[in-house]
Amino acid sequence: EDKVVQSPLSLVVHEGDTVTLNCSYEVTNFRSLLWYKQEKKAPTFLFMLTSSGIEKKSGRLSSILDKKELSSILNITATQTGDSAIYLCAGSDGSSNTGKLIFGQGTTLQVKP
C-alpha cells in the first residue's frame, strides 16, 4: 500500500533557528513530491519536486528530492513565528493517471518568539 511518512511529527523551535523536515515515500508509479503549508484554513502550495537533486527555493524555504532514497527534505532558515503551521508532504500517484496525492501525517511546527 502506498504511504508517505513525515518526521518529526512535531517540532518546537525559537525564532531564528533553522529547521529540517523529513518526508519519505513509497508511492506506486511515483511522479512528483509536493509540500504544502497548512495553517487554519487551506493547505497552501509550497513546492513541487519532480527531479532528484535539484533544489527549489522560495525565500527562506528550500526543498530537495532524493529519488534514490525515496525522500525529500524541507528546510526553513531564520524561522519566524509566522512559520508556525502544519507542513504536509504528498506524493503524486501516477498508477491511475489521475495525479491523486498520497499525504503524510504532517509535521506540526511551532516557532516561539
Partner 1 sequence: NAGVMQNPRHLVRRRGQEARLRCSPMKGHSHVYWYRQLPEEGLKFMVYLQKENIIDESGMPKERFSAEFPKEGPSILRIQQVVRGDSAAYFCASSLQGALTDTQYFGPGTRLTVL
Q: What count of residues does the chain have? A: 113
Least distance from partner 1 to the Cβ atom of residue 22, Å: 15
Q: Which is nearer to partner 1, 97 or 113 (CB)?
A: 97
Question: Which CB sits closer to partner 1, 44 or 80?
Answer: 44
Give whichever of 8 and 16 is closer to partner 1, judged by the CB atom: 8
Q: Sheet containing 3-7: give its strands across.
A: 3-7, 19-26, 71-76, 61-66, 56-58
Point out which residues bind partner 1 (CB under 8 A): 4, 31-32, 34, 36, 41-45, 48, 50, 88, 90, 92, 94, 96-106
Q: What does each C-alpha distance from 90 to 11, 45, 60, 80, 101 come to in angstroms? A: 19, 11, 21, 24, 6
The CB-of-58 to partner 1 minimum distance in angstroms stands at 14
Of 7 and 77, which CB lies nearer to partner 1 in the complex structure?
7
What is the smallest separation between the CB atom of 28 and partner 1, expressed in angstroms? 12
What is the CA angle 99-46-72, rounded to 5? 75
